[in-house]
Amino acid sequence: MQQILNYVNGRLVAPISSSYLDNINPAEGKVYSLLPDSDLRDVEVAVKAAEAAFPLWAAMPFEKRAAILLKIADLIDRDLEKLAWAESVDQGKPLKLARAVDIPRASANMRFYATASMHVSSESHLMEGEAINYTTRTPVGVVGCISPWNLPLYLFTWKIAPALAAGCTAVAKPSELTPMTAFLFSKLCIEAGLPAGVLNIVYGLGGKVGQAIVEHPKVSTISFTGGTVTGKTIAATAAPMFKKLSLELGGKNPNIIFADCDFEQAVATSISSSFSNQGEICLCGSRILVERSLYDRFKTEFVKRTRELVVGDPLDEKSKLGALVSEGHMKKVLSYIELAKTEGGKIECGGEQLKLSGRCVDGYFVSPTVITGLNQLCRTNQEEIFGPVVTIMPFDTEEEAIGFANATTYGLSATIWTENLKRAHRVSHQLKSGIIWINCWLLRDLRTPFGGMKQSGVGREGGWEAMKFFTEAKNVCVKI
């Protein structure tokens, strides 16, 4: 069986403990490879390697650094099919989604920050007749990058790329549930000639490896994407050590549909924004709010199209939804459907585990589920489910829609559907969300700030700002 290896100091190495964890293919419910069950000792070696590599990498001319990162992007493009396959097998997502979104966006991350590093400029401020201030920005040193399982290579590279482009070296930990694409990525780094120690990848459990990275005194900056509960633990550990923190956390995103929307586009895109990647995208809209005069029509059409979605073998081109990432996660999602029933919700469609045939007979599949009849404040509408489950609720006025939308502790993203331009702007300004899509969903421009408000995260940065996060500013004031 294939064994994944840590990537430390430029080499692929076994964990010091020689212990491995099972890597399960969720579409089959079977172990298909093994990943290192690393510990503190592996993190220690990785941090030492990153420290040793830092001076040379930070001092490398930016054209040379960019060329290496661009080479990695080219290799991702070359291996698109192989990486997409690995992402699909590891995570359960449809292969065609990995091919169309995850892997191209991973390569785009590398390319964007590689080229951004060539356009960095410094600032100066003249104090008329007295002095000139100039500001330098230098990379912070060794950074820790911790990423989740839902968009494995895409989110992994979104952290690594700005950090390395800024001149930092990194110790990274992908989710234990989806390690395969990071492993393939490490081989591409070697092929591209990334100097030893610049990127180190240590696999293992969050509470062990992740925690060791966050606690390590030589890791000054942490970039984390994952759940809000884990984010709190990380913040509690890092704050007394005065570490720089970027936290991209969970969401409970509203999708607001006004009666004057383009109905066809609103329904079609809402199907995607509810169920893409089995609803396992932090930006999925999980609470659909519909203006009352359109409510029945929207609900009927939305439920009809949800029923038509094909849940199946992720490797089958016809499948719109694949498997949930793990048995534990599937049970969590199913438990929320049961909770919704006890809270008075009506299951309009779905609501159960699906038993497929053939190789997927033991996989973790859940039918896409639409629930109505719940109030805003019940747990189903407050807590992140992170699966193919949405609720639909009516609203009467614009103010009510805004109130409902803002009525959770999260504030990651929101979507608004209306043909009324003034209303679109007015409502978007009142929503407490880091990203708002009007008449679209999941469009991404890497130059814009990304991240959530409230408990959806801190450290919203984009473009050059995301690289800036990995630098320290220094001002020099010169008397003239």
Closest contact distance (angstroms) between CB of 177 and ligand NDP is 6
Q: Please give the angle made by the CA atoms of 159, 144 and 206, to the nearest 5 degrees.
A: 100
Backbone φ and ψ of 68, nearest 5°:
-65, -45
By CB under 6 A, the residues from 67 to 126 that bind ligand NDP are: none
Task: Find the binder of ligand NDP among 97, 114, 219, 249 (CB under 6 A).
Answer: 249
Task: Find the binder of ligand NDP among 115, 233, 382, 420 (CB under 6 A).
Answer: 233
Cβ proximity to ligand NDP: between 10 and 148 the closer is 148
Task: Find the binder of ligand NDP among 109, 175, 276, 286 (CB under 6 A).
Answer: 175
By CB under 6 A, the residues from 194 to 223 that bind ligand NDP are: 205-207, 210-211, 214
The conformation of residue 10, written as its DSSP 8-state character, comes to T
Note whether 182 binds ligand NDP by CB under 6 A.
no
Cβ proximity to ligand NDP: between 284 and 402 the closer is 284
By CB under 6 A, the residues from 426 to 465 that bind ligand NDP are: 452, 456-457
Catalytic residue among 145, 168, 261, 282: 282
Closest contact distance (angstroms) between CB of 450 and ligand NDP is 7
Q: Helices (DSSP H) in 142-262: which residue ranges?
A: 152-165, 180-192, 211-215, 228-238
Task: Find the binder of ligand NDP among 15, 167, 179, 251 (CB under 6 A).
Answer: 251
C-alpha–C-alpha distance, residues 375 and 400, integer Å: 13
Nearest alpha-carbon partner for 368 in 385, 347, 391, 349? 349
263-302 footprint of ligand NDP as x/- string (CB under 6 A): -------------------x--------------------
- The pairing of beta strand 221-225 with beta strand 142-146: parallel
Backbone φ and ψ of 156, nearest 5°:
-60, -50
Nearest alpha-carbon partner for 395 in 266, 257, 242? 257
Nearest alpha-carbon partner for 386 in 89, 206, 88, 148? 148
Task: Sheet containing 6-8: give its strands across.
Answer: 11-13, 6-8, 199-201, 169-173, 142-146, 221-225, 244-248, 457-458
Q: From 24-32, 57-65, 145-153, 355-363, give the range in contact with ligand NDP by CB under 6 A.
A: 145-153
Nearest alpha-carbon partner for 320 in 356, 355, 367, 284? 367
C-alpha–C-alpha distance, residues 357 and 365, integer Å: 11
Q: For tokens 């979605």, what's the residue?
A: 309
Q: Helices (DSSP H) in 367-431: which residue ranges?
A: 379-382, 398-405, 421-430
Site size toward ligand NDP (CB under 6 A) is 33
Note whether 387 binds ligand NDP by CB under 6 A.
no
Cβ proximity to ligand NDP: between 394 and 459 the closer is 459
Nearest alpha-carbon partner for 166 in 472, 470, 478? 470
Cβ proximity to ligand NDP: between 88 and 223 the closer is 223
Task: Find the binder of ligand NDP among 412, 453, 466, 467 (CB under 6 A).
Answer: 412
Tokens of 16: 């010091």
Note whether 248 binds ligand NDP by CB under 6 A.
yes
Closest contact distance (angstroms) between CB of 408 and ligand NDP is 13
323, with CB counted inside 10 A (0-12, 13-18, 19+), is buried
| Region at 376 (left for phi over 0; alpha for psi -120 to 50; beta for the rest) | alpha
Note whether 177 binds ligand NDP by CB under 6 A.
yes
Task: Find the binder of ligand NDP among 76, 182, 198, 234 (CB under 6 A).
Answer: 234
Residue 301 among the catalytic residues: no
Cβ proximity to ligand NDP: between 174 and 312 the closer is 174
Residue 168 among the catalytic residues: no
C-alpha–C-alpha distance, residues 156 and 464, integer Å: 18
Closest contact distance (angstroms) between CB of 231 and ligand NDP is 7
Q: For tokens 């809402």, what's the residue?
A: 270
Binding site for ligand NDP (CB under 6 A): 146-150, 155, 173, 175-177, 205-207, 210-211, 214, 225-227, 230, 233-234, 248-251, 282, 384, 386, 412, 452, 456-457
Residues labelled catalytic = 248, 282
